[in-house]
């Protein structure tokens, strides 16, 4: 990759190797975003001796909660971890029992039930924080530069690009990889697209010490996850490691529904009373998944990028994961991001130039993500369908 052979002169002795004066400069690769996609790309590049720096806006690795559990699929997320040399370490952390899935009605009756077969590893669960820590530990010291909030990407399309951070510092890069999620700052360098509200909002609730404090809910949800809906509203309960559980309450509401009902995000009791009214027809046992949470609710409106989302090729900037193809949470998010990372890293390893690598990567990634986005377009609304009603995409998947 961008490494022309040095000019050599024949002598009567052994041919000398390249000197520092003739050795080509190493390409400067900057990844924005230390999520699973960005870290996977960095890990695979380092496995092949290619230097890379990751910039992230968080002040450190432990400054915020990384979210709930996700399932890594054997044909994308697990492939990426195999290339990263981390698949065995992943399985040491993964919860195969988390593949259990229940479909419930509002009364708590089981409508559908998937129990994983013995030895099944198609979609084992892992906490997002555990996956991120696994990837972070695998990188060379100093790879991730914390506390760097990107403000803009400037410079000519053929590079080099200038990264300007909000603290006033600037960095030059031959390739900028945007792995910075839904509200990507890198995206603006190649595309004017912005995420739009899907019409469905999640309200996240946390539960702690499940086996002791919430044993009835353990029995209701099982060891994996459970989805229930009545056509207008729903919930998705997801067991996490360490005795924790998250429940996502799903509603077809305006994006500002909390304020529109005279509430504030920190008004836990007020929101709880509103939810009891909205879910009044659900059974008392199911309502405990809505009201017995430990701590506040977290509002998470679902956003998506236009379908399809494409951009004109630039040899110095590209995108992966949600920065490239934000979709409803129906089982593809992190898995696609890690597959993107694998394919981009492999292209950078094997292509003669950075521009060739980016073009090869995008020629595969953009059609694939467009096809998936078309399949899932409008899928946020389908999460409110009654489980087993005919749409097999019911329930938000963990990734």
User: Around 136, how many Cα atoms within 13 Å sit in the side-chain half-sphere?
Assistant: 18
Domains of the chain: 29-98+119-195+305-378 (3.50.50.60), 197-303 (3.30.9.30)
pLDDT at res. 7:
34
CA distances, 336 to each of 98, 146, 186 (Å): 20, 25, 18
pLDDT at res. 4:
39
The model scores a pTM over 0.85:
yes
Cα–Cα distance measured from residue 41 to residue 50, given in angstroms and rounded to the nearest whole number: 11
CA dihedral 63, 304, 174, 84 (to 10 degrees): 60
Low-confidence ranges of the chain (pLDDT < 70): 1-24, 388-399
Cα–Cα distance measured from residue 306 to residue 205, given in angstroms and rounded to the nearest whole number: 29
pLDDT at res. 396:
55
Residue with structure tokens 């912005």?
A: 194
User: How many other C-beta atoms are found inside a 10 Å radius of the C-beta of residue 232?
Assistant: 12
Q: Could you tell me which residues come within 8 angstroms of residue 192 by beta carbon, excluding any fewer than 6 positions away?
A: none
For 302-392, where are the alpha helices, taking DSSP H only? 322-325, 333-350, 354-376, 379-382
pLDDT at res. 1:
56
Q: Is 131 exposed, middle or buried (0-12, 13-18, 19+ CB in 10 A)?
A: buried
pLDDT at res. 379:
78
Asked if the bond preceding 160 is cis, omega within 30° of 0, the reply is yes
N-term to C-term CA, the chain: 33
User: How many other C-beta atoms are found inside a 10 Å radius of the C-beta of residue 33?
Assistant: 28
User: How many other C-beta atoms are found inside a 10 Å radius of the C-beta of residue 323?
Assistant: 30
- Express each pLDDT in 159-179 by its tens digit: 999 999 999 999 999 999 999
Q: Could you tell me which residues come within 8 angstroms of residue 387 by beta carbon, excluding any fewer than 6 positions away?
A: 103, 104, 105, 111, 112, 227, 228, 229, 394, 395
Cα–Cα distance measured from residue 343 to residue 289, given in angstroms and rounded to the nearest whole number: 40
State the SS3 of 216-264.
HHHHHHCCCEEEEECCCEEEEEEECHHHCEEEEEEEECCCCHHHHCCCC
- Partnered with residue 55 across adjacent β-strands are 32, 145
- Express each pLDDT in 175-232 by its tens digit: 999 999 999 999 999 999 999 999 999 999 999 999 999 999 999 999 999 999 999 9
pLDDT at res. 24:
59
């Amino acid at each position: 990759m961008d490494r022309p052979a040095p000019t050599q002169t024949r002598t009567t002795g052994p041919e000398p190797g390249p000197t520092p004066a003739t050795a080509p400069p190493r390409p400067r690769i900057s990844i924005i975003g230390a999520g699973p996609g960005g870290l996977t790309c960095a890990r695979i590049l380092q496995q092949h001796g290619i230097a890379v720096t990751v910039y992230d806006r968080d002040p450190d690795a432990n400054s915020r909660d990384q979210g709930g559990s996700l399932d890594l699929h054997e044909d994308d997320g697990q492939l990426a971890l195999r290339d990263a040399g981390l698949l065995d370490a992943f399985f040491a952390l993964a919860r195969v029992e988390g593949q259990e899935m229940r479909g419930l009605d509002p009364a708590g009756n089981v409508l559908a039930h998937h129990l994983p077969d013995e030895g099944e590893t198609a979609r084992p669960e892992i906490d997002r924080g555990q996956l991120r820590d696994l990837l972070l530990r695998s990188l060379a010291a100093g790879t991730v530069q914390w506390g760097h909030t990107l403000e803009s990407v400037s410079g000519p399309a053929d590079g080099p690009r200038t990264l300007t951070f909000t603290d006033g510092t600037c960095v030059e890069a031959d390739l900028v990889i945007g792995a910075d999620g839904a509200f990507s700052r890198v995206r603006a360098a190649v595309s004017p697209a912005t995420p739009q509200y899907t019409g469905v909002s999640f309200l996240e609730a946390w539960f702690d010490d499940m086996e002791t404090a919430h044993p009835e809910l353990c029995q209701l949800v099982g060891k994996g996850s459970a989805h229930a809906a009545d056509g207008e509203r729903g919930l998705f309960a997801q067991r996490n490691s360490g005795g924790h559980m998250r429940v996502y309450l799903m509603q077809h509401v305006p994006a500002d529904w909390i304020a529109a009902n005279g509430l504030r995000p920190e008004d836990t009791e007020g929101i709880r009373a509103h939810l009891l009214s909205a879910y009044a027809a659900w059974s008392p046992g199911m309502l405990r998944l809505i009201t017995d949470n430990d701590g506040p609710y977290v509002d998470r409106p679902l956003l998506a990028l236009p379908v399809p989302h494409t951009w004109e090729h630039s040899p110095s900037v590209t995108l992966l994961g949600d920065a490239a193809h934000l979709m409803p949470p129906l089982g593809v998010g992190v898995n696609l991001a890690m597959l993107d990372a694998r394919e981009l890293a492999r292209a950078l390893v094997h292509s003669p130039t950075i521009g060739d690598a980016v073009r090869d990567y995008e020629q595969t990634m953009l059609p694939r993500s467009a096809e998936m986005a078309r399949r899932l377009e409008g899928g946020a609304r389908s999460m409110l369908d009654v489980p087993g009603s005919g749409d097999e995409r019911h329930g938000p998947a963990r990734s």
